[in-house]
Structure 1
Amino acid sequence: MKVSIIGLGRVGSTLAYTLLLKEVAEELVLVNRSADLAEGDALDLQHARLFVDHHVDITAGGVAETTGSNVLAICASAPWKDEFKSRLDAAAANTRLFETLIPPLAKASPDAKILVVSNPVDVLTWHAIRLSGFEPHRVMGTGTLVDSARFRELISDQVGIHPADIRAYALGEHGDSQFMAFSCAEAGGEPLEDRPDRRAMFDEAVHAGIEVFRKKGYTNYAIAMAAAYVIEAIAGDARHTMPLSVLIDGYQGVSGVCLSVPVVVGRKGIIRWMKPELSEAEADAFRRSASVIRSTIVQTLET
């Protein structure tokens, strides 16, 4: 398994370290606008190889070195500006960045799966499909995977069940319009009742990333672990179900935008798009998310 990580900021660097620890890849290629930074990370990780049993070939380079990648993990982002109020504010600049990055990467690795980590992830996943020309099942974004995990972690203490055994998904936009699909949330076959205290937990989960950012200036561990979890599912053909940002084709009356829904992930990428039954209010929320993302995509195409 050859994994190329594009963008060695806090998230990309942590992802590389996580993949080394998890012994997921046989080859890691690190690409960054600053070659020195990528080379420094590669050297640091090479020095860490002694402490894992699985040999990983770790190099820094450019597009040429990514040739033949099985997974392209896109973590690159334009600089965040102080005046930005939400992830969507970075859409135009990161779309321009993707227009320079994705076509040559896709050409160098025509059989790869693309995992978009950069934000706004739903908008950029749509652009990654457009710019790569790849089939939609080979392009996915981390979406609401971390949001869902944060909620499951919070509610696990309340119900006394390990978070891995709780089936609860945040759907829609990875952003302000996302929602918890309580109508299909359950643990051990028992439904997780939609209650005000649990809605408050979900609100806490949605804003947890902002709280981390406020306290330390960035987020990196949870999102890197989430991205590694996706890559691990691809490498091992694990066929785990998880909420990822993928191209929607007719679900709840929505088509042509990328939003998070539960999908099954394996060696070929997205093996199956799940279609959980939603309440009328949840279906409306999903369509509102689609409207938000569609509007932002249009703006990025016009900029």
Structure 2
Amino acid sequence: MKISIIGVGNVGSTIAYAVVLKGLCNHLVLAGRNVTKAQGDALDLLHTLSFCERPMTIESSAIEEVRDSDILVITASAKGRGKMTSRMELGAGNVKLFKKMMPPLIQNNPAAIIVIISNPVDVLTYLTTQIAGLPSSRIMGIGTLVDSARFRVLLSHEEKIHPDDLRTYILGEHGPNQFPVFSNAFAGSERIDDNPEHRRIFEEVTKAGFDVYNLKGYTNFAIATATCEVLKAIVFDDHRTMPLSIYFREWQGIEDNCFSIPVVVGRTGVIRHLQPKLNQVEKTALEKTAKLIKQNINRLIHNKK
């Protein structure tokens, strides 16, 4: 299993470290526009192997030289400027970057499953699907997986229940227009109510990433761990359910769009789109997020207002 991480900034390096610790492959490639940084990270990770359970080949590469990967993890990104208030601030720069970077990557790695971390993730997952000409099941964005994880952690403090025992999803945009699915939220078969306190917790989640970013200049630990959950599901064919950003022709009446929906993930990528029964509040939120994401796709990719 060969995993190549494209982009060796704070996020890419942390994902690489987590992949090594968890032993998720036998061949790891770190590739970036800063090849010297990629070389340094690869060498540093190589030195950790005597403390790890699984040996692996770890090497660095220029992006254009990455070949024959089983999984491509894309974290490369244009730089943000100062305090960021919206992931859309990265939109124009990252669309330009992806249009240049993705065609040779796809050509050199034709069998790869592509996992996109860069933001705005919904727009970039849509764009990559367009560029690649591959089944959409093989191209997924990390989307609201990390938001859902943050939600479970904050809810667990309120409910006094381990976060892994809470079944709660946030769907839609990885951004301010995401929405919680309380109608299908449970702990031990007991419903998690849609009440003011839980709504307050959800509002905390929508800004949690920016709280971290503005405090230390980036986010890395939670997103790296979430990414490894996706990689683990692919590598071990786990058939895990999770909310991920994926292009779909139709889902819950929404057509030709790309945002986080609940899916099943295994060795071939996204195996199945799940179809939860949404209540009217959630259907309204779904229509809103779908409209706004499509507007961003049209503006950033197709240059339509």
- Give the match's secondary structure for 2:233: helix
Contact 1:144-1:244 within 8 A present in 2 as well = yes
2:271 maps to which residue? Answer: 271
- CA deviation after TM superposition for structure 1 residue 65, in Å: 4.4
1:108 maps to which residue? Answer: 108
- Give the match's secondary structure for 2:284: helix
- CA deviation after TM superposition for structure 1 residue 63, in Å: 4.1
Structure 2 length normalisation: TM-score? 0.96
C-alpha distance in 1, partners of 2:288/2:47?
A: 48
2:209 maps to which residue? Answer: 209
CA-to-partner distance for each residue in 1:219-243, whole Å, 9 max, x for gaps? 1000011111101110000111111
CA-to-partner distance for each residue in 1:255-285, whole Å, 9 max, x for gaps? 2111111111100000111111111121111
Is the counterpart of residue 242 in structure 1 residue 242 in structure 2? yes
- Which amino acid in 2 is paired with 1:207? K
CA-to-partner distance for each residue in 1:81-110, whole Å, 9 max, x for gaps? 248531012111101100111111111111
- CA deviation after TM superposition for structure 1 residue 157, in Å: 2.2
- Which amino acid in 2 is paired with 1:235? V
2:135 maps to which residue? Answer: 135
**Gapped runs of 5+ residues in structure 1?**
none
- CA deviation after TM superposition for structure 1 residue 62, in Å: 2.4
- Give the match's secondary structure for 1:207: helix
C-alpha distance in 2, partners of 1:91/1:242?
A: 25
RMSD: 1.3
C-alpha distance in 2, partners of 1:208/1:95?
A: 25
- Which amino acid in 2 is paired with 1:298? N
C-alpha distance in 2, partners of 1:216/1:185?
A: 32
Aligned residues: 303
1:162 maps to which residue? Answer: 162
Range moving further from structure 2, 217-226 or 292-301: 292-301
- CA deviation after TM superposition for structure 1 residue 22, in Å: 0.3
Is the counterpart of residue 72 in structure 1 residue 72 in structure 2? yes
Contact 1:247-1:255 within 8 A present in 2 as well = no
CA-to-partner distance for each residue in 1:126-169, whole Å, 9 max, x for gaps? 01111111100000000001110011011112222211111100
C-alpha distance in 1, partners of 2:248/2:283?
A: 14
C-alpha distance in 1, partners of 2:132/2:30?
A: 20
- CA deviation after TM superposition for structure 1 residue 64, in Å: 5.5
2:96 maps to which residue? Answer: 96
C-alpha distance in 1, partners of 2:246/2:301?
A: 19
CA-to-partner distance for each residue in 1:107-128, whole Å, 9 max, x for gaps? 1111110000000000000011
1:124 maps to which residue? Answer: 124
Counterparts in 2 of 1:182-201, with a 5 A limit? 182-201=182-201
Contact 2:84-2:210 within 8 A present in 1 as well = no
C-alpha distance in 2, partners of 1:266/1:301?
A: 29
C-alpha distance in 1, partners of 2:248/2:82?
A: 32
2:254 maps to which residue? Answer: 254
C-alpha distance in 1, partners of 2:209/2:221?
A: 11
- Which amino acid in 1 is paired with 2:257? V
- Which amino acid in 1 is paired with 2:276? P
> CA distance change for structure 1 residues 207 and 84 in 2, over 3 Å: closer, same or farther?
closer
1:290 maps to which residue? Answer: 290
- Give the match's secondary structure for 2:45: helix
- CA deviation after TM superposition for structure 1 residue 249, in Å: 2.8
2:81 maps to which residue? Answer: 81
Contact 1:156-1:163 within 8 A present in 2 as well = yes
CA-to-partner distance for each residue in 1:15-54, whole Å, 9 max, x for gaps? 0000000000111111110110100101111111111121
C-alpha distance in 2, partners of 1:83/1:93?
A: 17
- Give the match's secondary structure for 2:295: helix
C-alpha distance in 1, partners of 2:169/2:245?
A: 12
- Give the match's secondary structure for 2:218: coil
- CA deviation after TM superposition for structure 1 residue 302, in Å: 4.1
Structure 1 length normalisation: TM-score? 0.97
Is the counterpart of residue 33 in structure 1 residue 25 in structure 2? no
Range moving further from structure 2, 198-207 or 158-167: 158-167
> CA distance change for structure 1 residues 65 and 301 in 2, over 3 Å: closer, same or farther?
closer
Contact 1:63-1:104 within 8 A present in 2 as well = no
State the identity %. Answer: 45
C-alpha distance in 2, partners of 1:261/1:68?
A: 29
Show structure 1 runs of 4+ deviating over 3 A.
82-85
Contact 1:63-1:108 within 8 A present in 2 as well = no
- Which amino acid in 1 is paired with 2:200? A
